[in-house]
Amino acid sequence: MNYEPLSAENAGVLLVDHQTGLSNGVTDQSIPEYLAAVEGLVKTAKTFSLPTVITTSAADGPNGPVLPIITETLPDAPIVHRPGEINAWTNPEFVDEVKELNRKKLIIAGVSTEVCVAFVALSALEAGYEVYAVIDASGTWNKLVQEVALARMVQAGVQPMTWVGVAAELQVDWRASTGQGLAETMGAHLPFYGNLIASFEVAKS
């Protein structure tokens, strides 16, 4: 494969079913780790002005509304409320919003990894997009389910990433104008990096 890095010009973000009810069932990582990764990803999307589409499944039922950190950070991102479709790609409104992004690379995260993320990722691949699944900003019911979902996606051609990998690839160079904002996000949501910055600041004083 040819390596063409993610950039603010070629990438868009799809956030699939990051809902309050569904998120309660995430056990393949701790809830704090999951929430930190989701927040890191959405703040990265904001920092780089990545066009984003949000979708929910039965948000007026037990699945619950979108995680507040998403709508608070990306208030202008369109939200497609699906009435029943399991695979968001089978909802015409969602697909239309994805097309409106006009980006060939799709960064996807959601709950659950083996259903909401995998189905959209495989469908987007079939539609001709390059797909990147952000595994730590996604979640499911146990580690085995995550591993099976990851194997299926990778076998099909989806590229697995973490939110920090996405952010660093977009940044390219710390001297770019987004460097300060990204460093603050990493410091807040990547514990070792926060400690690194704090130690540096103490050493300077």
Mean pLDDT across the stretch 41-53? 98
> Domain ranges in the chain?
11-171
pLDDT value at position 108? Answer: 99
- Round to whole Å and give the CA distance between 22 and 86: 13
Mean local confidence (pLDDT), 93-122: 98
Q: Catalytic residue numbers?
A: 116
Instruction: Identify the CATH number of the domain defined by range 11-171.
Output: 3.40.50.850
Mean pLDDT of 129-137: 98
Compute the mean pLDDT over every residue in the chain, rounded to the nearest whole number: 95
**pLDDT-derived band at 193, boundaries 50, 70, 90:** confident
Q: Is the pLDDT of residue 173 over 80?
A: yes
